[in-house]
Amino acid sequence: MKDNLEKAIFAGGCFWCMVKPFDQWDGVASVRSGFTGGHVNNPTYEQVKAGHTGHYEAVEIVYNPQVISYEEIITIYWQQVDPTDDGGQFQDRGDMYRTAIFYTTEEQQKIAEQSKAALIASGRFSQPIVTPILPAQTFYVAEQYHQDFYKTNKEAYEADRAKSGRDAFIETHWKDQ
């Protein structure tokens, strides 16, 4: 990868809500919305949303590990999702909105497993952590109108985020961070 950049891929429900939390950090070169983990090549948003592709909505984060570590990125990830919900995330229901960590290297797998174990041991959540840690598959970039949605459709993004319950959940579970 160019200039020793690395990729991290996470599913955390609606990809619109997963871009901004990563996009704001030094060392993050890009965050793209897309799909991964399914059985249909080059799926469209409508196909994924219909639930017949097996894909998750996900984000691909390209980052400079000399500036921001995978450990830091995975900590940001955990603080954006409900890792106890296997039916989707917040108002978005269905398999395409489930959480998952897709590792691209053995080192990422090791770090992800350690961070999940630490989260379980912390007792922060009363329900079991169900977020799987899976090998990365092809990441398909979503249509252009989904990219940087929080910037290009600020009012729609803020309205959707407000009604989702995500921010209230984050405040309840991560207020001490």
User: Is 17 one of the catalytic residues?
Assistant: no
Q: Which of 140, 163, 54, 137 is closest to 98 using CA atoms?
A: 54
Tokens of 42: 């080059």
E strand or H helix at 171 = helix 166-174
Catalytic residue among 11, 14, 76, 136: 14
Q: Which residues contact 64 (CB under 8 A, 6 or more apart)?
A: 3, 4, 5, 6, 27, 28, 29
Query: What gap in Å lies between CA 143 and CA 67, rounded to an integer?
Result: 29
Q: Would you name the residues annotated as active-site residues?
A: 14
